[in-house]
Amino acid sequence: MVSHLLPTYSRADLAFERGEGPWLIANNGERYLDFGSGVAVNVLGHAHPALVEALTDQAQKVWHVSNLFRIPEAERLAERLCAASFADLVFFCNSGAEAMECAIKTARKYHAASGHPERVDIITYEGAFHGRTLATLAAGGQKKYLEGFGPVAGGFIQVPFADLEATKKAIGPTTAAILIEPIQGEGGVRVVPPQFLRELRKLCDDHGLMLVFDEVQTGIGRTGDLFGYMRSGIAPDIMALAKALGGGFPIGACLTTAEAGKGMTAGTHGSTFGGNPLATRVGNAVLDVVLAPGFLDNTRKVSLLLKQRLAELKDRYPSVIAEIRGEGLLLGICCVVPNGDMVAALRNEKMLAIAAGDNVVRLLPPLIIDEAAVAESISIIDRACAKLSQAAKPATPAAV
């Protein structure tokens, strides 16, 4: 069949007609265990009753009004995000890249508003991924994504992953901020040591820099805490969120302290759809569930179980799995075999997972999974590893 979609993705020949919790049902009736969650989006799985109720109820009232008027659902969501984090103020948008754009603008504008418009440079880390707009591509610094798209947006300085000395050396009179994902998702589930985040906080305080966390992938419970930064005991000045915040409804957010956001006055930024009643009503429904007492305890409990069972598989299949990494339900299987082979083998066994850098397969199940879903996933991964290890074995010489 000829597709009229711009072919920017290499898609599997698979389409789904509905979902139930952690399951996706293909249009041929086959059931897939969804440990990809639309790349860390479907935090409550598919067709969660609370989200369906919120969306359909709001759809009958008002879908969209412009930001020229007050939007009570957005005010409520902003208030709850601030109450649960370091932040005082929130800007809503529609995606992770846009949340990051706002974070970059906020960090630079802070310095301009403080009388230092020359402070524009943002230090980022190798392996980072911050989105596909021109500025966020420049922030990510990955050649393969930048090639052919003209001049690279200026003002980003990249240093090796979690390298403190290189970070210190990169700081100068034009530095505005340090930008980091507490766990690199696309980069291969590379966990930044909490001590490194604490060192960054200190560097930022000493040099008057903004500390910016990209929590587009780690935010809203994914790591077992509401936000990934929480395990470090320090907080950023600015943070980008998206993905899980809408549980599948597109929404992004840039959170900031009042001080860091002081330059973002009326007219400095905007988004037509950002924070509209539909999106923010669903965002509030996501928070109702994720913030309920005990919810993240379950995430942490199943995470531990999943990690233990994956470690057993690593020991049993050393020719397939090199390492298990990650926090909460942002887990990575670092493969010996090509990670694409692992993703395909899992899909053959009716499980969805997502490739990442560093030859890693990401497991990003919805946070609502229980022990039975963990057991199901382990038997699927076991079968996939058995097949891959068979294939990885050197061919036995033919008998003479």
Pick 145 or 295: Cβ nearer ligand PLP: 145
Interface characters, 195-224, with ligand PLP (x: CB under 6 A): -------------------x-xx-------
In 3D space, the residue among 268, 288, 347 whose CA is nearest the CA of residue 44 turns out to be: 288
Residues from 75 through 114 that contact ligand PLP (CB under 6 A): 95-97, 100
| 376: contact with ligand PLP by CB under 6 A | no
Which of 110, 129, 156, 227 contacts ligand PLP by CB under 6 A?
129
Pick 97 or 189: Cβ nearer ligand PLP: 97
Check: CB of residue 131 under 8 Å from CB of residue 137.
Answer: yes
- The C-alpha atoms of residue 144 and residue 152 are separated, in whole angstroms, by 12
CB contact set of 370 (below 8 Å; sequence gap of 6+) = 298, 302
Interface characters, 10-29, with ligand PLP (x: CB under 6 A): --------------------
61 belongs to the catalytic site: no
Pick 12 or 292: Cβ nearer ligand PLP: 12
Question: Per DSSP, which regions of the chain are E strands?
Answer: 16-20, 23-26, 31-34, 89-93, 121-125, 156-159, 175-180, 183-184, 190-191, 210-214, 238-241, 252-256, 321-327, 330-335, 351-352, 354-356, 360-363
With contacts defined by CB under 6 A, name the span among 129-137, 154-162, 259-267, 335-343 that binds ligand PLP: 129-137
- The C-alpha atoms of residue 273 and residue 137 are separated, in whole angstroms, by 23
Instruction: Please tell me whether residue 342 adopts helix, strand or coil conformation.
Output: helix
| 246: contact with ligand PLP by CB under 6 A | no
Which of 36, 185, 188, 263 contacts ligand PLP by CB under 6 A?
185
CB 183, min distance to ligand PLP, A? 9
CB 97, min distance to ligand PLP, A? 3
**Torsion angle (degrees, nearest 10) of CA 278, 282, 283, 285:** 150
Pick 39 or 166: Cβ nearer ligand PLP: 39
Q: Which of 34, 121, 214, 237 is catalytic?
A: 214
- The C-alpha atoms of residue 68 and residue 48 are separated, in whole angstroms, by 32
Would you give the DSSP letter of residue 335? E
What residues are annotated to the active site?
Answer: 129, 214, 243
